[in-house]
Structure 1
């Protein structure tokens, strides 16, 4: 993974926001959801993009959706609305609304990548089952080109996320009264963790293709005739679903020409492809669920601003 897509060690900035539970009954809900995401933080910051598994991404997306559900209640509270309606804070609310659009755009880009990747994976599965050499070569070539485009698109998205995070950090709270400062801190924490989770999702999707040696694919014709064999020992258990598929596609070797070995290898490759397909579907479902929450939060902020 290029440095531009690697997760920084301190990407998450989630910390205790110390909400007063008496005046803010939603505090417990928000703190509980943030605590769950903090538990994922220690795991995510210790892993590279290739070690981030789809399950962790799904849990994070669903956790963020639940956090936004709590924030919905928070935004409906009179104390919150009163703080945000103060004339000197309206500009900050507008920036939060703009930030929500950015997150929705980033999420939309991630969903497009998910859908396209799933389609290409399904095409490769079909070509592998039918053992059509030319079709398989074309699909794998398309996959390589797709991954290159994804790397470029993700790099642009990560720069956007970084600018958004820097904008939030740059906004001082010195002129805010206690209640207003508390409200701003809550919404900043939510935005910060959202940025972190989208960062992890994009890193997961943009694992670079394991490049084959020069001329490697010239062997494919012979391998297809003698038995398509992907050497299992080249796949590390720490790899995530995306990288394991790359290895399955490119770690081809005529190490066993027997028919039984060819069938077994083909089944192994199919399994990895199917695992990735199922993982992408799960991540897509989690992202769609989060989308609905993000849109609702944006609507609530707009309603407060136009109150």
Structure 2
């Protein structure tokens, strides 16, 4: 169950179309976040669309006057920007390690069969990534989610709260199994590699058990990382633009 508070904003009947569009995007993304069939990329794409509306929303003079009093919204924007950036760093490191393993596997014809070094580097990267993600999941709760504010500020806080929910889903997916000992023995004992909770878990499990590496799984995970990162790159730009607008408004 999502932890944010859903609201229906009662704007005047003659309210600006951008306000109505933002409210519609919020409701659409809430539905996507609640649906178990919605993919991570779909949710992140929904965030992209949401922040496009936020940018237009913040350009309205009447909204800028209200937002100029909200330091909490500005602080929240910085935390979300940091989490988005950190997530991209984690994905980049994981992708690099996967490519190193693939590179060795492609050179099998020349007799280079040992991927022990590359697997160890991958697992080390994943262990470090899990620690980073665990910290992000803890820090993300610091984003303000209070409700005692007027409609315009409440809408922006709802945007941030919903962003928190999607980022939580993303970090949990990328982090995969968060075993304290970072051992996948129990995971593999309960599920086959193809049934692991996420694509990240599936590859982790195979490499931890030193099983025969399926190149197709590495390629699929690399492709998935690329897809997620492309959406995050666009979202990062929107978050930067939103924060820049908030800084400009608060400096008036």
| Both structures adopt the same fold (TM-score exceeding 0.5) | yes
What band does the TM-score fall into relative to the shorter chain? 0.7 to 0.9
**CA shift at 1:36, angstroms?**
2.3
- CA deviations on 1:65-108 (whole Å, 9 max, x unpaired) are 111111112112232123234xxxx2xx2222122111111111
1:306 is matched with 251
**CA shift at 1:117, angstroms?**
0.4
**CA shift at 1:158, angstroms?**
1.2
Structure 1: stretches of 5+ with no match in the other structure:
1-8, 45-51, 174-180, 214-232, 254-264
**CA shift at 1:237, angstroms?**
4.5
Q: Which range moves more in the overlay, 11-20 or 272-281? A: 11-20
CA contact (8 A) 1:37 1:63 kept: yes
Structure 2: distance between partners of 1:35 and 1:148: 36
- CA deviations on 1:17-42 (whole Å, 9 max, x unpaired) are 34335223213311332232122222
**2:148 paired residue among 172, 175, 198:** 172
1:111 is matched with 88
Q: Which range moves more in the overlay, 58-67 or 13-22? A: 13-22
TM-score of the superposition, structure 2-length normalised? 0.85
Structure 1: distance between partners of 2:130 and 2:78: 22
1:37 aligns with 2:29: yes
Structure 2: distance between partners of 1:13 and 1:195: 12
Q: How does 1:129-278 map to 2 (within 5 A)?
A: 129-131=106-108, 132-134=112-114, 136-164=115-143, 167-169=144-146, 172-173=148-149, 181-208=150-177, 211=183, 234-237=192-195, 239-250=197-208, 269-278=214-223
Q: How does 1:55-94 map to 2 (within 5 A)?
A: 56-85=39-68, 90=69, 93-94=70-71
The SS at the match of 2:106 is: helix
CA pair 300-238 structure 1, distance change in 2 beyond 3 A: same
1:297 is matched with 242
1:28 aligns with 2:4: no
CA contact (8 A) 2:25 2:49 kept: yes
TM-score of the superposition, structure 1-length normalised? 0.71
Give the alignment's Cα RMSD to 1 decimal. 2.5
The alignment covers a number of residue pairs equal to: 241
Structure 2: stretches of 5+ with no match in the other structure:
186-190
**CA shift at 1:118, angstroms?**
0.4
Structure 2: distance between partners of 1:42 and 1:156: 24
1:220 is matched with none
CA contact (8 A) 2:4 2:161 kept: yes
**CA shift at 1:288, angstroms?**
0.6
Structure 1: distance between partners of 2:4 and 2:145: 13
**CA shift at 1:252, angstroms?**
5.7
